[in-house]
Structures are given as C-alpha cells and as structure tokens.
Chain A
C-alpha cells in the first residue's frame, strides 16, 4: 500500500508546453480563460485573460465540484462524468477531466458558443492527457531534477522555530 498521496512536480518546460497548447485552444475557441487545477484542489496554471476572482479559492471549489459529481455519477451507475458544464447568463464554464488527475476549466462568454468550445476542447484534452500522463509517470523527483528539499531538515526546523 502506498504511504499516502503521491507527489508530483511541474517544471518551467512543462509550464511552457501547457501554456502553448492552451493559448492555441483559446485562440481557436474564442474562450476567455483556461485554468488547470489538480484533483486535490491546487491551481497548476492560468492562461488567457487573468481572472478577477481569487484563483486559489476557485481551484479548490472546482476540485470539490468535480469530486462531488464523480460520486453522483457512480450513484447512477456511471464511472464518472468526464466533463461538466455550468451555464450563466453572461459567463459560463466548461470543465473536463485530464488523465484522471487534472481538471481543465474553461471560462467563456457570449462571444463564443458551447458547441465551438466543446469541439475545440477535444483535441486539447487529448493532447494534455498524454502530456500529464508523462508528467505523473515521472513523479516528484526525476533524475534531472534533484529533490529540492533533500537535506533541508535544518532549514525546515528553522522555519518553525
């Protein structure tokens, strides 16, 4: 049995690759903003128009929303809902699962349509799913990135004095 939840890390190159993929998607779909949130509620990246709300709180609620809906899916005999759509009067959001570990959240308004967002999102979801599967396979400490906390016991002790 694993001790607890696995750690994972995220490099500047990863960030560059994700940003590029999401920028292309935002351009094609005319959506305003895309956020990536991991399933435990941590914000991974924000691309496009910078949101005016608190992104940390938003990420947490997104993860909770997705988890609650996963359980609802199970109750009705589905494995999961791999996407969710919340419709507002002016602003809407579309959420999609990426590799069972990350959630892509897209915010859009009436400058585009749900149909276009969904259509353009499919390729992005496939691309990001492959990408994140590689990232998770690598874990928190791949050989090229030494563990930044290795031997930091003294520094950790000092932080909490």
Chain B
C-alpha cells in the first residue's frame, strides 16, 4: 500500500523478499545496508531466533532518490522462510507494493522453492492481491555453487509464465532487463503467457543484489505513474 505524503513530500512503498528458508533473503538486505550511504538508509531491524533464522521479519528503509520533488522511500522486508512460520510470514505481505522471490538455485532445493512459490501465491490471494498483475521479480541465488541447477530448469519450474486473458496485453513485450528475451510471448499452442523478470545472483558477494532491487523499485514506481 504505497502512501504519498504531500506534507513531508515522500512516496513510501513496501517491498517484500519472499522465498524458501536459508535462501539468503536476509543477506540481500545486509548487502544493501552495507553498501548504501548511511544518509540514505535507516536501521536494519532483525527479529531473528538465536540461530539467526528470521523469526518474524527483517526490515530496512532506504531512500532511492527524488522524483518531482518527492523523496522515494522503500521499506524492504524479508519474511521467515521456514515452512512453519507461515502465520507471521503472511502478516508481512499486508500492504505490499512489490515482491522479490529469492530462489535457491541448488538442485536439491527445487522442491522447497516450488513450495515457497505456491505459498506466496496462496497468501497473496488470501489478501485479495493478484501477484500476476503487480511488480514481481525473481532472483535466482547461489549461482556460484557447483550444484546450481541451470537457469532454464529453474525458469520452467518457477517462472513458466501465467496465462494472459486480457487481449490488450497480448503482444510480444521484450524483457527490458535481458536482451533477446521476452516477458510476454505466444506459445506454440497459441496461448499468451507473461513471465516475471528474473536475475542471477550471488547474494553473499553482492552480485545481482542491486540489479534486483533496482528492477523491483522501478516497477513499483511505474505502477504508480
């Protein structure tokens, strides 16, 4: 639920990092925290267990610049990935403006990724939000590991594309984040599908972290324009 505050001249938006446990969602926020200038970010709040698993959420506010005299403030949240924390995970989605799904590329985590993706769809629709119509990007993480699945396999498991029913959107749309690929395309079977933009990442070294954040923030601001 973005809030435009004309009194303090701020646009406030909420972005949630979602995904399976141990999938480096918190690492994404820690990297952003470490890299941006202290004037443009607030405190990193972490509600975690003693073993550093996120219990409720992590939170980091960042300013990404000024548009038309309004400061753009993004509130970044992560959710706990462990399956049994669903109640608290769902609460964090309240009022979300943009989602980053942080997938773990390791072959053996494929099932955990799919389960988390299904859980995201379910929790969003319980709030009455349509994930397929809002700013949503996928980050394939841990690309540096030897057991990382090929992007092609991850895409077909997690981002096969959702069917488009609105005729006005049935036109080939290039992926602005990857040349030579399309976000909207027609399958050989004739149906039109749309994919979410995706990014390769190694969050522990910071690779892909800002590309993902920039992409989702831009999509959120464009959805308000």
Q: Is A71 an interface residue (CB 8 A)?
A: yes
- State A41–B24 Cα separation when bound (angstroms): 23
Give A150 to B133 CA distance when docked, in angstroms. 19
What residues of A have a CB within 8 angstroms of the CB of B43 in the complex? 54, 56-57
**A1 in contact with B4 given A41-B14, A151-B225, A153-B222 (CB within 8 Å):** no
**How many A-B pairs with Cβ below 8 Å?**
145
Q: Is B48 an interface residue (CB 8 A)?
A: no
CB distance from A2 to the nearest CB of B (A): 6
| Known contacts A4-B133, A38-B95; is-contact A140 B2 (Cβ 8 Å) | yes
Check: B152 CB closer than 8 A to any chain A CB: no
Interface 9-residue window, one of B55-63, B153-161, B194-202: B55-63
- The answer to whether residues A40 and B1 also contact, given A9-B6, A156-B222 and a CB cut-off of 8 A, is yes
- List, in ascending order, chain B residues with CB within 8 A of A143's CB: none
Which residue of B7, B72, B221 has the most chain A CB atoms within 10 A of its CB atom?
A: B7
Given A42-B75, A148-B70, answer yes or no on A140-B91 (Cβ-Cβ < 8 Å): no
Query: What count of chain A residues pass the 8 Å CB interface test?
Result: 45
Judging by beta carbons under 8 Å apart, are A159 and B65 in contact? Answer: yes
A119 adjacent to chain B (CB < 8 Å): no
Q: Is the CB of B67 within 8 A of A156?
A: yes
**Chain A stretch 1-60: residues in CB contact (< 8 A) with chain B:** 1-12, 14-15, 38-42, 44-45, 54, 56-57, 60
C-alpha spacing A68/B12, complex, angstroms: 22
Whether B130 sits at the interface, judged by CB under 8 Å, is: yes
Q: 1/0 contact trace for B1-18 toward A, CB 8 Å?
A: 111111100011010000
Indicate if the CB atoms of B7 and A9 lie closer than 8 Å: no
Question: Complex Cα distance A110/B129, Å?
Answer: 44
Q: Which of the four size classes fits the interface of chain B?
A: 35 or more
Q: B100 at interface (Cβ–Cβ under 8 A)?
A: no
A60→B225 contact, CB < 8 A: no
Residues in B with CB closer than 8 Å to A7 are 1-4, 224
- Do A153 and B225 have beta carbons less than 8 Å apart? yes
Given A54-B43, A57-B45, check contact A160 B2 (CB 8 Å).
Answer: no
8 Å CB interface, A140-155 against B = 140, 145, 147-153, 155
Point out the residues of chain B lying under 8 angstroms from A155, CB to CB: 67-68
In the complex where A39-B95, A40-B94, A156-B218 touch, is A1 in contact with B128 (Cβ < 8 A)? Answer: yes
For B70, the closest partner residue in chain A by CB is A148
Which residues of B have CB within 8 Å of A40?
1, 3, 14, 94-96
Chain A residue, CB-CB nearest to B1: A5
Q: Is A64 an interface residue (CB 8 A)?
A: yes
Measured CA separation A115–B217 after assembly (Å): 45
> Which residue of chain B is the closest to A9 with respect to CB atoms?
B4
Give the residues in chain A near B45, CB-CB below 8 Å: 57, 60-61
Chain A residues with Cβ below 8 Å from B42 are 54, 56-57
- Complex: how many Å from CA A1 to CA B56? 28
Which among A2, A64, A152 is the interface contact of B57 at CB below 8 angstroms? A64
- Among A39, A63, A148, the residue within 8 A (CB) of B4 is A148
Some 25 contacts from A to B, beta carbons below 8 A apart, are: A4-B129, A5-B14, A5-B95, A6-B1, A8-B1, A8-B4, A11-B7, A38-B1, A38-B95, A39-B1, A40-B94, A40-B95, A45-B7, A56-B42, A56-B75, A67-B91, A140-B2, A147-B225, A148-B70, A149-B221, A151-B225, A152-B225, A155-B68, A156-B218, A159-B218
By Cβ-Cβ distance, the 6 closest A-B pairs, closest first, are A40-B95, A15-B7, A5-B1, A9-B4, A4-B134, A149-B225
